[in-house]
Amino acid sequence: MRDPLFDLGGRVAVVTGGMGQLGSVYVAGLVERGMRVAILDTASGDVPDGARAFAVDITDRAAIEAATREVGAEWGVPHVLVNNAALDSPPDAPAAEVGPFESYPESSFDEVMDVNVKGSFLCCQVVGGAMAQAGRGSIVNVSSVYGLLSPVQELYSFRRERGETFVKPVAYSVSKSAIFNLTRYLATYWARDGVRVNTLTLAGVFNDQPPEFLDAYSARIPMGRMLDAKEALGAVVFLASDASSYVTGSNVVVDGGWSAW
Ligand SMILES: NC(=O)c1ccc[n+]([C@@H]2O[C@H](COP(=O)([O-])OP(=O)(O)OC[C@H]3O[C@@H](n4cnc5c(N)ncnc54)[C@H](O)[C@@H]3O)[C@@H](O)[C@H]2O)c1
């Protein structure tokens, strides 16, 4: 039996960054639940049946508009937007990017803010605007425990002990913090237009990180382990579906208890 509370069958979603570790889980999970899913990503790759990939840089408004027009013509106005695409500093980031705050490069700050904040803002303008005109929709803006709270720099001390410089950079945290008020602003702005807007805050996802990091991170988590990417899907389905029909402006925290300590 299909549960009408969580039923997403026949609806349309846009998932930014849908080629990435978490985005690909959302795409597969939403397609499995009968949605048609448009992926906006700069990366390319295989997509499941029911999904279609658009080569879109989310900092480019015209490209978002063009993809949204195509989606609209083929499938209709999207019901769900998951603002998931983002930049973080990868483990092989240049030394200056993971060095002291005092010398964190201005260009890196701009790049991260551009994708993580302006990109989400532009997708809300274009896709959310179309949803508001249609009188329904749900937007999920993805944040992080590093946007809710400061990163714990001690988790990276194993790298310093190896002689490397490593400071978890500031721009990611600042950008993910901005997501909370993008959500609140739009939740109230569109509350009577049928568009709900919520934040999904995640803790660190297991991705074969070095054992020293896994040990330190797990010790910091009440549940004693990192998030399995598949465990983020339930909250996306909840926020996307009618099960959350009275939920807007909220922050759903999926963090194994990280922020409870
Ligand atoms: N992985 C984690 O531990 C973790 C923890 C908390 C929150 N999050 C959040 O979850 C989301 C997804 O993270 P992930 O780990 O799957 O990242 P990822 O790097 O695996 O995927 C990000 C995707 O976004 C795409 N992207 C980057 N810049 C883009 C742009 N300008 N335009 C279009 N697409 C672009 C990339 O090509 C990639 O496919 C992010 O918002 C991240 O902040 C992740």
Q: Tell whether ligand 1 has an atom less than 6 A from the beta carbon of residue 142.
A: yes
Q: Tell whether ligand 1 has an atom less than 6 A from the beta carbon of residue 98.
A: no
43 pLDDT exceeds 80? yes
* Cα distance between residue 169 and residue 33, in whole Å: 37
Write the DSSP symbol of residue 206: P
Cα torsion angle, 205, 196, 127, 74, sign: positive
* Cα distance between residue 103 and residue 202, in whole Å: 28
CA dihedral 185, 191, 195, 201 (to 10 degrees): 50
Query: Which atom, in ligand 1's list, is nearest to the CA of 83?
Result: 41
Nearest Cα to 210, choosing from 152, 155, 144? 155
Cα of 194 vs centre of ligand 1, distance in Å, is 27
**Mean pLDDT along residues 163-179:** 95
203 and 256 Cβ atoms separated by less than 8 Å = yes
Q: Tell whether ligand 1 has an atom less than 6 A from the beta carbon of residue 22.
A: yes
**Strands 12-16 and 36-41, sheet pairing:** parallel
Local structure of 28: helix, strand or coil: helix
Confidence (pLDDT) at 90: 65
200 and 239 Cβ atoms separated by less than 8 Å = yes
Ligand 1 pocket, mutate which of 25, 40, 41 (most atoms under 8 A from CB)? 41
Helices and strands in the chain: count of H runs, count of E runs: 10, 7
Q: Report the percent of the chain where pLDDT is more than 90.
A: 92
Ligand 1 pocket, mutate which of 21, 115, 168 (most atoms under 8 A from CB)? 21
What are the tens digits of pLDDT across the range 48-82?
999 999 999 999 999 999 999 999 999 999 999 99
What is the H or E stretch that residue 185 is in? helix 170-189
Amino acid at 237: V
162 pLDDT exceeds 90? no
* Cα distance between residue 18 and residue 48, in whole Å: 11
Confidence (pLDDT) at 181: 98
Gyration radius of the chain's alpha carbons: 18
Nearest Cα to 171, choosing from 83, 103, 88? 88
Q: Which residue, by CA, sits nearest to atom 34 of ligand 1?
A: 41
30 pLDDT exceeds 80? yes
Nearest Cα to 174, choosing from 104, 229, 241, 125? 104
